[in-house]
Amino acid sequence: MSASGGRSAGSGDSKVLIARVIADQAALSAHSEAVVHALEAQGARVLGADPLPLDEGVLQLMVEGGSAEGLRAVVDRHIAPSDLLIADHLPQIPKVFVSDMDSTMIGQECIDELADFAGIKPEIAAITERAMQGELDFAEALTERVRLLGGLSEAAIQQCLDERIVAMPGARALVATLKAHGCHTVLVTGGFHQFADPVAERLGFERVVGNRLAVGQGRLTGGLVGTIVDSSVKEAVLREEAALRGGNTLATGDGANDIPMLIAATYGVAYHAKPKARAAAHGAIDRGDLTSVLRLLGIAQGDWAEG
């Protein structure tokens, strides 16, 4: 794991890392001293371990001379489950927010739910899980799953949207609040525009990048239209938006195909994620909902916008 972007929180040659941790208040009270001792045992110097001024439910650690990997390991060992963000500067509201959709902004994997209408959900879901774990090539896995959906009525897409697709808790508040603070929001997905466009409209995203299911005579053809959106495209979208708008960037995702995007962001946050994605990110939401991202960025609840 690495931290990037912004200026150092301290002076001198030793890098100062800022870690913000959300956990049960009793756990924070009981174990924060153990966290400090464990970090010092690694050779780090703890400059502060205090509640965030605007949110007493967030512990802010200032650590000089340690590593992000070591800091995370200590927090995982002593305070779990928790929500965590590590940076080499005081976190700031980003100028760009790029997010994955399936299992991040919504609680479902759209292709798995669509497969249920075709009567092949277990077969499709098994491929999806392996792809998200990083065990299969994403493009090949996507192509195979889409092929298996060939012949399904196009009407199943709208039915699936109406009956199955539900926003993650906190998704609307996260997007609305970031936009209210001047952040540009982008939904980028290895899923499909037929789902992503209405989801983006519901949640307030300003741009959508995704794949498109090919349709002919009212049925899915088993193919895709255009270039496949994979991990490299997700990263490229984030870098493109950052170049256009400047400032810090935020990315959220849960699977292996989100890893390059999470690494490239100033704040890459893995949301209830697969192990490889969690390990690669700058932070992780393991405990709360998507509003934990706002708290980790230091946005007080009184400044949240209604989603």
Tokens coding 25? 């208040």
Per-residue CA distances from 239 to 19, 150, 210 (Å)? 24, 34, 16
Q: Choose among 33, 31, 41: nearest CA to 66.
A: 41
Q: Choose among 98, 109, 113: nearest CA to 237.
A: 98
Q: Do 21 and 51 meet the contact criterion of CB atoms below 8 Å apart? A: no
Tokens coding 248? 């810090």
Candidates 55, 83, 88, 102; catalytic one: 102
pLDDT tens sequence for the chain (307 residues): 333 333 344 444 579 999 999 999 999 999 999 999 999 999 999 999 999 988 889 999 999 999 999 999 999 999 999 999 999 999 999 999 999 999 999 999 999 999 999 999 999 999 999 999 999 999 999 999 999 999 999 999 999 999 999 999 999 999 999 999 999 999 999 999 999 999 999 999 999 999 999 999 999 999 999 999 999 999 999 999 999 999 999 999 999 999 999 999 999 999 999 999 999 999 999 999 999 999 999 999 999 998 6
Q: Choose among 57, 84, 68: nearest CA to 285.
A: 84
Annotation marks residue 100 as catalytic: yes
So what's the pLDDT on residue 4?
36
Q: Can you tell me whether residue 305 is helix, strand or coil?
A: coil
Q: Determine the Cα–Cα distance for residues 268 and 218; give it in Å rounded to an integer.
A: 39
Q: Do 113 and 124 meet the contact criterion of CB atoms below 8 Å apart? A: no
Annotation marks residue 102 as catalytic: yes
* DSSP code, position 302: G
* DSSP code, position 143: H
Domains and CATH numbers, the chain: 16-87 (3.30.70.600), 96-303 (3.40.50.1000)
Tokens coding 143? 């192509």
Candidates 55, 100, 112, 286; catalytic one: 100
Q: Determine the Cα–Cα distance for residues 134 and 145; give it in Å rounded to an integer.
A: 16
Q: Determine the Cα–Cα distance for residues 65 and 3; give it in Å rounded to an integer.
A: 14
Radius of gyration of the chain (CA): 20
